[in-house]
A and B are shown apart, each in its own frame.
Chain A
Amino acid sequence: MKDIARQQMSMKVESMDMLNAQIQMEGRASASYLAMASWCDQRGYTRSAEFLYRQSAEEREHMMKIFKFVNDCGGNALSPEIKNIEHDFTSLEEIFETALAQEIEVTRSINNIIAFARKNNDFGVENFLQWFVSEQLEEEKNMRDILDLFELMGSEGVALKLIDERIPVE
């Protein structure tokens, strides 16, 4: 039995690679939300800013959750290098469109890892990622709800102020 390595690590190395890429993606999402929060904060969209600061913190939590999981399974979690964050946006609406697009990318990436884990009988990884599946549905819904506000109220002038007042903050 060639089992020393298996005793040290309870997932497939390729799953670890994909989770490390996911750590990078969550870290990038966190940094990206921070840039969006800054844009809103400077323009007086205070509730949008608050919402985005919280999103940024949540993405970091996601990152840490995966980070810990990789190390707990005996893998080697890599601290992400994050560069080239977009800070320029043309409108508040563009911010939330970008946010939704980003969430959809994350969902796709999570699904991709789950499909891989399932194919390779890496059930611990699949099971761990189930939480992220529900989380992503929630995140996409939140962004869609906000984009609906633009649909309803318009995306110019006083509508922006009214939309900002309706951005959900805890």
Chain B
Amino acid sequence: MFPMERIHSSQYYTFFQSKTEKCFYIDFGQKVVGFRFCELLSLRQKIWAINIETHFDGANIHGFEILSLCNKEHFFILNTLEVLDLKDLLSGAFYILGIGTQDSVLATKA
């Protein structure tokens, strides 16, 4: 396997970076997906765009979100808890990577 450095873990997921490859990995449990930086930003934007309230107000009764990653190379179906956990993972990882603020780390914990 590549020389990966563990950056951050949430309850379900783990975030790695590889300095030699200049890319990032997320271990989703069933598979590990590699991300270029722009793909990582795009993942974050997709997760942030999810309106989690729809999982509770009846608009999205099953509480599933379909996520396509890395220009449609991967598809994931996430439930409410997984969406929140992925948000948590990314907030923490971006903060540790030096391009996120502590505010958003605290916000996802609240």
Interface residues of A (CB under 8 A from B): 2-6, 8-9, 11-14, 16-17, 20, 74-76, 78, 120
Considering the chains assembled together, what is the distance between the CA atoms of A13 and B94 in angstroms?
Answer: 8
**Across-interface contacts of A17 in B (CB, < 8 A):** 48
| Chain B CB within 10 Å, residue with most, of A2, A13, A14, A76 | A13
Cβ contact within 8 Å between A5 and B97: yes
Cβ contact within 8 Å between B101 and A120: yes
Is B19 part of the contact surface with A, judged by Cβ < 8 Å?
A: yes
Is B32 part of the contact surface with A, judged by Cβ < 8 Å?
A: no
With A14-B103, A14-B104, A17-B48 given, is the CB distance from A2 to B98 under 8 Å?
Answer: yes
Cβ contact within 8 Å between B103 and A120: yes
Considering the chains assembled together, what is the distance between the CA atoms of A10 and B100 in angstroms?
Answer: 11
Cβ contact within 8 Å between A12 and B99: yes
Cβ contact within 8 Å between A5 and B103: no
Q: List 9 A-B contacts (CB under 8 A).
A: A2-B96, A3-B97, A4-B22, A9-B41, A12-B99, A13-B41, A13-B94, A17-B48, A120-B103
**Across-interface contacts of B14 in A (CB, < 8 A):** none
How far does the Cβ of A3 sit from chain B's closest Cβ, in whole Å?
A: 7
B22's nearest neighbour on chain A, judged by CB, is A4
Is B55 part of the contact surface with A, judged by Cβ < 8 Å?
A: no
**Across-interface contacts of A12 in B (CB, < 8 A):** 99-101
Considering the chains assembled together, what is the distance between the CA atoms of A14 and B101 in angstroms?
Answer: 7
How far does the Cβ of B84 sit from chain A's closest Cβ, in whole Å?
A: 18
Is B42 part of the contact surface with A, judged by Cβ < 8 Å?
A: yes
Is B12 part of the contact surface with A, judged by Cβ < 8 Å?
A: no
Cβ contact within 8 Å between B98 and A6: yes
Considering the chains assembled together, what is the distance between the CA atoms of A75 and B37 in angstroms?
Answer: 9
B19's nearest neighbour on chain A, judged by CB, is A4
Chain B 1-30 per-residue mask, 1 if CB under 8 angstroms from chain A, else 0: 000010100000000010100111000000
Cβ contact within 8 Å between A6 and B48: no
Q: Shortest 10 CB-CB distances between A and B: which pairs?
A: A5-B97, A8-B37, A76-B41, A6-B98, A120-B101, A14-B101, A13-B100, A5-B99, A13-B94, A2-B97
